[in-house]
Amino acid sequence: MDEEPLKLVSKESAPEGQPDHLKDGEPTSKAPVKCDDAVRSRIKEPTPNSQDQPFGSLNDLYLSESVGTLETNSDSSRASPSSGVMSDRVQRIASSIYAEFEAMIEAYGLPVVERLMPLVIGVLENLDELYKDQSAYHEEVYQLREQNAFMVGELEREKDRRKQAELVRGLCL
> Is 156 a domain residue?
no
Instruction: Indicate the DSSP class of residue 20.
Output: G
CB atoms within 10 A of CB 65: 15
Helix (H) or strand (E) holding 62: strand 61-64
Give CA–CA dist 23/62, Å, rounded: 6
> Is 55 a domain residue?
yes
Domain range for 40: 7-132
30 in helix, strand or coil?
coil
- The tally of domains found in the chain comes to 1
User: What pLDDT does residue 123 have?
Assistant: 94
> Is 145 a domain residue?
no
> Is 142 a domain residue?
no
pLDDT in tens, the chain (173 residues): 444 444 444 444 444 544 444 444 444 444 444 444 544 444 333 334 434 444 343 333 333 222 333 333 333 333 344 446 788 899 999 999 999 999 999 998 898 888 888 999 999 999 999 999 999 999 999 999 999 999 999 999 999 999 999 998 888 87
> Is 81 a domain residue?
yes
> Is 168 a domain residue?
no
> Is 151 a domain residue?
no
Using CB atoms within 10 Å of the CB of residue 118, give its burial: 0 to 12 exposed, 13 to 18 middle, 19+ buried.
Answer: buried
> Is 83 a domain residue?
yes
